[in-house]
Structure 1
Amino acid sequence: MDLLAPLSGIAAVVVPVFLIAALGFGWSRAKLPYDSAFITTFAINVSTPCLVFSSLARLSLGGDDLLIMAAASIGSMALAGLLATPILLASRLPLRVYLPALSFPNGGNMGIPVCLFAFGETGLGLAVLFFATLAVLQFTIGPALAAGRTDVKQVLRTPVIYAVALAVLVLTTGFQPPQWVTNTTTLLGNCAVPLMLFSLGVALAGLRMEGMVRSLAMSALRLLLGFAAGWAMVEILDLEGTIRGVVLLESTMPVAVFNYLWALRYNNAPQEVAGMVLGSTALSFLTLPLLLAAVM
């Protein structure tokens, strides 16, 4: 029984993530009704900001812990990009196409649910903080890398940024929001995790892998670079416990779907990025049990 306990714990994390994403995948392939525009708009503008606010506002972390987690998030993504750059240059592959995909992990659709199932509410809050930092970078540096410029108006229209600011204000001042605010944001935030996973499955169903060998090679590189960058950051910052596990998990997530959306928007070889999203997500379902065994 003792030998089966770790496997049971890992299965408790991996299986729900896989099944909900698979449900979205099958739903799309069955051509059942799915209003992608509404779901995406609702998730970005309502449920995810509410999840960010309600999760961060409940965290029992000091200001130093918040800064450390934000630094670990920024550092892991920056280091992954730095490690990827000479590899891409040596391979004569365009930085604008591949660098964002190798730098930004799927810390939202996949990372948040995995951390929730692995580490409970504390893991959820820390993962949300990682994702919030990622979202800010992805809406500033992401377009800059993909199109050579930063869309300031797009950044200012990102509700997650304001949710983070309000949550940090609550944490630093000790102000207690009215119970109706807490209940409302918690209720709406609870929609975010299943919507993220379901939407991930729907998005994957619409992608096609072209240039399979290169896509798989770059997908494996994303996971390796993410783990290496995450490992370096937890060692540099001397992180332990849940924070260490969350940073490693989030850093090693597959290519974020938003990378494909940016590539599509700027006509920046979207089929290549789509292959990386699909390939890295498939590989991550195979490697996730090993990763969980290392951090749990």
Structure 2
Amino acid sequence: MDFLAPLSGIAAVVVPVFLIAALGFGWKRAKLPYDSAFITTFAINVSTPCLVFSSLVRLTLGGEELLTMAAASVGCMLLAGLLATPLLLAFRLPLRVYLPALSFPNGGNMGIPVCLFAFGETGLGLAVLFFAALAVLQFTIGPALAAGRTDVAQVLRTPVIYAVAVAVIVLLTGIQPPQWVTNTTTLLGNCAVPLMLLSLGVALAGLRMQGILRSLAMSALRIVLGFLSGLAIVHLLGLQGTIRGVVLLQSTMPVAVFNYLWALRYNNAPEEVAGMVLGSTAMAFLALPLLLLAVM
């Protein structure tokens, strides 16, 4: 039954992502103890930076390839934003509410696990690199779009940025970190993926979809714009193989949960953004098998 092999490969990627996120969703709905503040803080400040560092230092990419991947990440986000802007203006929808959500994909707690299961350790490292560039923009341009200003202090308090900087120095200089450093960061980094997926499920369980039709339309637009932007960037940069697959997967991810947090913080119609997070995540799960067929 060779025709079942592609389905088996896709199920190996989709099912773990879905089940762990569903576990978080069900946990929240069952009102079981879940310290979201601690887990989110730990994931953002400890496990994710360790995952970024430990994954990047294991990469065998050269400096040119690192720059290419970072450029692809930035290009996907900027192109999605550029494509979304005239559409939002034409329909007289506020840019401060919708533009961040349409520009920034969920490259962390959904994109990283998907790329890990699809492409193994190499995919994980490349996905982390994509996410690192995404995180820098999301903590600079994201709040700037939502609030109309840049919060430099927030950027300087983002540990992922320092993890990326140290990892890049290690890669470019060829310095070998002590074994205890790599073992510790690897161990802590291994917590990141399940915590990301659990947190995604918990966050989705707490959201409510309002304005269903518009939320669904904007959710579909995020998926379409992300895929088209990724397709354009991989063609423009001439990317092939695993790098191409990772860029397409990451770029097509649904609306990042952080967009909801920024909308909530700056009172930019958070219920609308919550609907986009919920709707686009559901659509991404449905579209993931087809997307995986296209990239694997």
Q: Decide: shared fold, TM above 0.5.
A: yes
Quick check: 1:223 aligned with 2:231?
A: no
Residue 162 (structure 1) aligns with: 162
Alpha-carbon shift at residue 175 of structure 1 (Å): 0.4
Secondary structure of residue in 2 paired with 1:3? helix
Quick check: 1:147 aligned with 2:141?
A: no
Q: Aligned AA for 1:58?
A: R
How far does the alpha carbon of each residue in 1:59-94 deviate from its partner, in whole angstroms, 9 at most, with x for none?
A: 000000000000000000000000000000011100
Residue 32 (structure 1) aligns with: 32
Alpha-carbon shift at residue 291 of structure 1 (Å): 0.2
Residue 294 (structure 2) aligns with: 294
Residue 84 (structure 2) aligns with: 84
Residue 9 (structure 1) aligns with: 9
Length-normalised TM-score, structure 1:
1.00
Residue 58 (structure 1) aligns with: 58
Give the distance between the partners of 1:77 and 1:180, measured in 2 at CA. Answer: 36
Give the distance between the partners of 1:5 and 1:229, measured in 2 at CA. Answer: 29
Q: Aligned AA for 1:247?
A: V
Residue 43 (structure 2) aligns with: 43
Give the distance between the partners of 2:248 and 2:14, measured in 1 at CA. Answer: 16
Residue 255 (structure 2) aligns with: 255
| Residues 74-223 of structure 1 mapped to structure 2, 5 A cutoff | 74-223=74-223
| Residues 227-238 of structure 1 mapped to structure 2, 5 A cutoff | 227-238=227-238
Residue 72 (structure 2) aligns with: 72
Secondary structure of residue in 1 paired with 2:143? helix
Alpha-carbon shift at residue 129 of structure 1 (Å): 0.3
- State the identity %: 87
Give the distance between the partners of 2:31 and 2:18, measured in 1 at CA. Answer: 20
Alpha-carbon shift at residue 235 of structure 1 (Å): 0.1
Give the distance between the partners of 1:109 and 1:145, measured in 2 at CA. Answer: 22
How far does the alpha carbon of each residue in 1:26-78 deviate from its partner, in whole angstroms, 9 at most, with x for none?
A: 00000000000000100000000000000000000000000000000000000
Give the distance between the partners of 1:81 and 1:267, measured in 2 at CA. Answer: 21
Gap regions ≥5 residues in structure 1: none
Give the distance between the partners of 2:122 and 2:237, measured in 1 at CA. Answer: 19
Give the distance between the partners of 1:201 and 1:37, measured in 2 at CA. Answer: 15
How far does the alpha carbon of each residue in 1:99-139 deviate from its partner, in whole angstroms, 9 at most, with x for none?
A: 00000000001000000000000000000000000000000
Give the distance between the partners of 2:178 and 2:295, measured in 1 at CA. Answer: 37
Aligned structure 1 segments of 4 or more residues deviating by more than 2 angstroms: none
Alpha-carbon shift at residue 279 of structure 1 (Å): 0.3
CA RMSD of aligned residues (A): 0.3
Q: Aligned AA for 1:28?
A: K
Q: Aligned AA for 2:113?
A: P
Secondary structure of residue in 1 paired with 2:106? coil
Secondary structure of residue in 2 paired with 1:181? helix
Q: Aligned AA for 1:248?
A: L
How far does the alpha carbon of each residue in 1:214-252 deviate from its partner, in whole angstroms, 9 at most, with x for none?
A: 000000000000000000000000000000000000000
Alpha-carbon shift at residue 9 of structure 1 (Å): 0.2
Secondary structure of residue in 2 paired with 1:253? coil
Alpha-carbon shift at residue 17 of structure 1 (Å): 0.2
Give the distance between the partners of 1:217 and 1:95, measured in 2 at CA. Answer: 16
Length-normalised TM-score, structure 2:
1.00
Alpha-carbon shift at residue 272 of structure 1 (Å): 0.4
